[in-house]
Amino acid sequence: MEKKLLRSTSNKWIAGICGGIAEYFGWSADVLRMVWIVLTVTTIFCGGIVYVVLWLIMPKDDTCI
C-alpha cells in the first residue's frame, strides 16, 4: 500500500495538517504541533503562512470517515 501525505480527519485541531504529517512520518502529532508553534512564533509567523498554504494544497483523508 502506497503512503500518501494527506490531511488527517481523525487527529486534527484546526485542519489536520500536523496530524497528517505526523501520521505520514510516524511521529507524535502533539510533539510536531509544539515544534510548529515554536517555529511559528520565532520566525515572525512564517509557520502560519506555511500552514495555510498546506491547508490549501494537501488533500483531505476521506478514508477515515
Q: Any residues with CB less than 8 A from the CB of 38 and at least 6 apart, and which?
A: none
Residue 64 lies in a domain: no
The C-alpha angle with vertex 30 and arms to 48 and 62, in degrees rounded to 5, equals 75
Q: How many CB atoms lie within 10 A of CB 54?
A: 17
At position 35, the amino acid (one-letter code) is V
CA proximity to 64, closest of 30, 18, 19? 19
Q: Determine the structural domain holding residue 28 and report its residue range.
A: 1-59
Residue 65 lies in a domain: no
Tell me: the pLDDT tens digits for 17-54?
999 999 999 999 999 999 999 999 999 888 889 999 99
Residue 27 lies in a domain: yes
Total domain count, the chain:
1
Report the predicted TM-score, pTM, of the whole model to 2 decimal places.
Answer: 0.84
Residue 2 lies in a domain: yes
Residue 35 has φ and ψ, to the nearest 5°, of -65, -45
